[in-house]
Structure formats: C-alpha cells, structure tokens
Amino acid sequence: MTPPEAAAPPPPQGGAPGGPAKPAPRRPLGKTPRRPLHGVLLLDKPLGWTSNDALQKCKGLLRAEKGGHTGTLDPLATGLLPLCFGAATKFSQASLDADKRYQATLRLGQRTSTGDGEGQIVEERAVCVDRAAVEAACARFAGDIEQLPPMHSALKHEGRALYAYARAGIEVERAPRHVTIHAIDILQWHDAELVLDVHCSKGTYIRTLAEDIGVALGCGAHLGALQRTAAGALRLDQAITIEALTALDEDARVALLRPADALLSTWPEVQLPDDEAGRFLCGLRRRVALNDSPFVRVYAQAPRAFLGTAHITAGELIADRLLSPIEVQDSP
C-alpha cells in the first residue's frame, strides 16, 4: 500500500545525498540472508519448546531480520503464542497487556515441588470431593484476587529469574500480585483429572491457581497441562503449528503474517484524511472532535493504512508509536 505524504526518506546508509549507497557487508558463506518483514504470526507453540526456541525457529523459516514474542509460555505449556516481526514489535505491549484464556488440566490429590508435572511429588491425598465442592472452590477464586508468584517462574529478583533461586534451593520473599480471574468454567472432570477454562488478566499464574484450588478442596493439586487458547481477540484456532509452517513454501509462510494492528483490534479507531495523516505520521499533534481516550489506533483514509497508536487529550490526537513511511508501505 502507498503511505500518505510525509517527510522525505533519509539518504542511503553510508552515502551522501544523491551519492552511491554504502556497499552491503559480506555475509558468511552458508548463512541464510535475512530481510525486513512486518507482521504478526499466530503460532501454536508445541510442548517442550521454550517461547524463544519457537521464535527463533519461525524467524529462520521466514528469514526475518527482527522478531519478538508477546509473553512467555513455559516449555510445559502449549498453545497460542503471537510472534511479532519488524514494525509489529512496536505494538507487542498491547498483546502482553491483554486478557488471556487458558485450558488448564489439574491433577487432584498430588502436590509437587514445582506446582506442575515437572516436579517431584511431595504429598498425595485421597480425592473425596463432589461437583458442588469443585464449583465452590473455583468460584472462590473468581474476581479480583491476590496471588503469590511461584518460585518456579521467570519473574526477576535482583536480576535473576526466580526459578534460578528455586533450583539452588533458595526461597525468596515475594510480594503478592493483584490479578483478575474473569471466569473459571469446568470443562471436564474424571476421577483425579479436572479440566478448567480460565479467563484472566495478564500476570495470572495458572499453576498457582491450580495449587490454590487444590488447597481449597483439601486434597492438594498441581498443574498437569496448560494450553493458552486466546490472547485478547486473538484465538488459538487462528494459529499454525511449526510442522505446518515448515511444510509451506516461503511465499505461503509470509502470506500468514497478519498486519501489526491485529494486536489492537479492540482499541478505538481514528481515521484521518490524507493531509492530516501525513502530518500525524511526522509526529505532529492533530486537532480532533473526539472524546479523550488513553489509547487509539490511527489510520489514513484513502488508501486505508495503519499509521500507529496515539491517545486523545483535550481534543488533541497525540502520537505514541508510529510506523515509518516505508513500514506503512511494506505492511501486509
């Protein structure tokens, strides 16, 4: 798409205006060349992979220069992992801040050293509960609650992840965190296996929720399996597996990239005429007859093009994160 009129692009790197461009540096033999790509890939992360493993694999398959993920999934977790490439990384915080949805499988009657199936079983109890007790235990944790972050987590303390202290046998004092559990629904329950659908705010530790439900039931529990099914408006049924991505040719892989504003689909939208769009893209404040809003997504009208994010204060549209003209042009 053609970007709205904006400031002239800078001269070629390493060369004077109108002069020759600086030659591209030589790359080592055998190394796959990378390229600028802009967009969001919805990945179904496989079991056993770290989020960074998955990112690097997809980054290589796409030959993308720049990429990042929008929230860590533990190796034992599967499911939706939005990956951002190029200009889309500017807006990854929106997905980090979005509500999440998980399918959590609890193993009742067993507590482990890590709160999940990776740790040693430290206690076993008989499971003598009925559905009414399970529903009451789940309801107890719905709404605004405080959670104590687990020691086996990536949360940092003095520059080190908590799991590093845990592996060294060191218990670190942690402050409770405020989270919101919007809903907990029972999907399946058979013997000691309880499967829940959890809709929650960012920063919710599902393994802590599993352990807390076990305590409330009086039999203990740990998190046996976890699958992220949604992040904001993005859903797992829109995602692709690494195996399926690998089987595609390069053009088909690139075609899967969604535009950067896919991360912002629930935000209010502002459209600007071409002359105003060009000024906004240069970072200038624009007057708008709109109510105040802490975040909006901004578009040029004709042709329609995503320009970036902004907020509205006292009738002024103030840019927060902007695409460059070339990023507007190259966006899917």
Residue for token digits 């195996």? Answer: 243
Question: Torsion over CA of 215, 220, 225 and 227, rounded to 10 degrees?
Answer: -10
Inter-axis angle of helices 131-140 and 206-217, nearest 10: 130
Eight-class DSSP state of 262:
G
Query: Which residues fall within 8 angstroms of residue 96, CB to CB, at 6 or more apart?
Result: 70, 71, 202
8 A C-beta contact, residue 125 and residue 221:
no
Structure tokens at 200: 């929650």
44 in active site: no
Taking the C-alpha atoms of residue 261 and residue 298, their distance in angstroms, rounded to an integer, is: 10
Residue for token digits 């990429």? Answer: 67
Structure tokens at 308: 């970036």
Structure tokens at 154: 């990536």
Q: Annotated catalytic residue: which of 44, 74, 212, 261?
A: 74
Tally helices (H) and strands (E) across the chain. 9, 19
Could you tell me whether strands 177-190 and 193-200 are parallel, antiparallel, or unpaired per DSSP bridges?
antiparallel
CA-to-CA dists, residue 167 to 52, 116, 162, 164, 172, angstroms = 21, 15, 9, 5, 12
Taking the C-alpha atoms of residue 203 and residue 254, their distance in angstroms, rounded to an integer, is: 31
Could you tell me whether strands 39-45 and 240-241 are parallel, antiparallel, or unpaired per DSSP bridges?
parallel
Residues designated as active site: 74
